[in-house]
Structure 1
């Protein structure tokens, strides 16, 4: 039987997601999913969701979203409602919004997207020896947020994070305005670069964040030293990215069996093993 974490491993790449058979997806039904509370409100959300960086943009390029529709339907029907996307992920926002509307389940999804018109690490306190950082144009930033509402086809977005630490003073300020208006429920900031963790920590201390997004995997544990303790201290939720290490972990365990002792903590596949750690 294919379990939920196996399915997430399979759907981590666009090609595999588009070849999923409905009979495989049906094996996910009837399983409980673990939830955790968002510290700033106590609202509980599933600990496992779906990222749209590869799957949804690839579906748009191929013109075939039938398999991806079945993936999203099965995910939501089984309680894994968090869908993370970004304007920088090609047509990911547009495709996921279209599928959710066609399925009539847009209001059941925890929509998470991002904002950045300053580039990677641009603006504010970014840089650390990389020269003058780029800044975000407020008009362009607001226009990008408005496009996200249009593409996701929802009047309220659950979470928008500033992508790649792009100009926090300007872009977090804009997101705070949207949150005050009730159009965005949670705000945060992301980085998947270990060299930027000191910058991230500074932003975490200075701004009232609900979330951060950061890279973390069994072979990439640097965030546990500085960022996780700070998030716990400040009451900030953590959204983990790249738990399979951009798929590099699969090459490291290729041809190897999962150790028997892993069953003691509920892992009988490598996907479960990696995600149990994360």
Structure 2
């Protein structure tokens, strides 16, 4: 249990919060604890907010100056986070993050979640040899064996690629396996795979203005004991556009949210089926702010309805 003042000290110690307005994160000295969730079927707990590496993280990873990403990873660790979600298709993200983590001594502390996404040939099956080569490359880039989680990206030929992941899990090379999609036309196929395969995780899109997962996917995940990683918790850019120039409502303090980022993330992780939300960022101050959503209180069902109504009214 730490206070908000102590939380700020941690952020400053990481060298990433000096540019923040302390009022954004620290309204008072209420005790706060890091919110974690158990991976279904295990005793292992993960912080409910992590870091994604698509979008801006990927763009910076492809540049010559990756110092900002070093600070982001430092901020993730310094503020209690551990889950890092990446993929071979996110440009240089996987390789650069792996190298920076080694330099920072964070490789073993990070819960690495990467993906397998060899494109099926001509709409048919993925090349097994190419899939094995891609997975071997992920092991080299990340530098951790076993890798914590590998998921088939965007429903890419589960028969071939999920089959390979099951083999590697049985060999002890991968701890958890899963499958992802953020495309509505693939949701029905996702349900089928969730029912038929021994998945540990799924990765899906979910946000306060995108609650389709609550209808069938989340109940099925609960039924099957499958962990859930949430992508696009800010609705990509939709939610930021909706609240541009608007103040966070004062009543958000009732669940310890003082920024819009925390407002949106606390809605997502207050759904008990969600294991971790992994918003992508290339700025350490945003990483600190995001981790603030994994501290303190979460909204209850009545408050979640109020949050939805507020966003829909904008």
TM-score range, shorter chain: 0.7 to 0.9
1:2–1:71: structure 2 CA closer, same or farther, 3 Å change rule? farther
The aligned length equals 252
Q: Is the contact made by 1:2 and 1:24 (CA closer than 8 Å) also made in structure 2?
A: no
CA RMSD of aligned residues (A): 2.5
User: Secondary structure of the residue that 2:123 maps to in structure 1?
Assistant: coil
Distance 1:162 1:108, change over 3 A: same
Determine the structure 1 residue equivalent to 2:78: 77
Of residues 171, 175, 187, the one that matches 1:185 is 175
Structure 1: 5+ residue runs without aligned partners?
Answer: 5-19, 123-131
Alignment of 1:189-228 (within 5 A): 189-228=179-218
1:193-238 deviation per Cα after TM superposition (whole angstroms, max 9, x unaligned): 1221111000000000000000000110001001000000000000
Which runs of 5 or more residues in structure 2 are unaligned?
Answer: 8-14, 269-314
Matches within 5 A, 1:136-151: 136-151=126-141
1:100 corresponding residue in structure 2: 101
**Deviation of 1:24 (Å):** 4.0
**Do the aligned partners of residues 199 and 52 (structure 1) sit closer, same or farther apart at CA in structure 2, a change above 3 Å counting?**
same
Normalised TM-score (structure 1)? 0.84
Within 5 A, what are the aligned runs for 1:1-278? Answer: 21=16, 23-24=18-19, 32-118=33-119, 133-278=123-268
Partners of 1:194 and 1:2 lie apart in 2 by 42
Question: Which has the bigger relative contact order, CA under 8 A and spacing at least 6?
Answer: 2
DSSP-derived class of the 2:108 partner: helix
Contact 2:82–2:111 (CA under 8 A) maintained in structure 1: yes
- The answer for the alignment partner of 1:125 in structure 2 is none
**1:118-156 deviations in Å (ceiling 9; x for gaps):** 25xx8xxxxxxxxx8331111111110000001112222
Q: TM-score, normalization: structure 2?
A: 0.75
CA distance in 1, matches of 2:244, 2:197: 43
Does structure 1 conserve the Cα–Cα contact (< 8 Å) formed by 2:201 and 2:227?
yes
2:62/2:93 contact within 8 Å kept: no
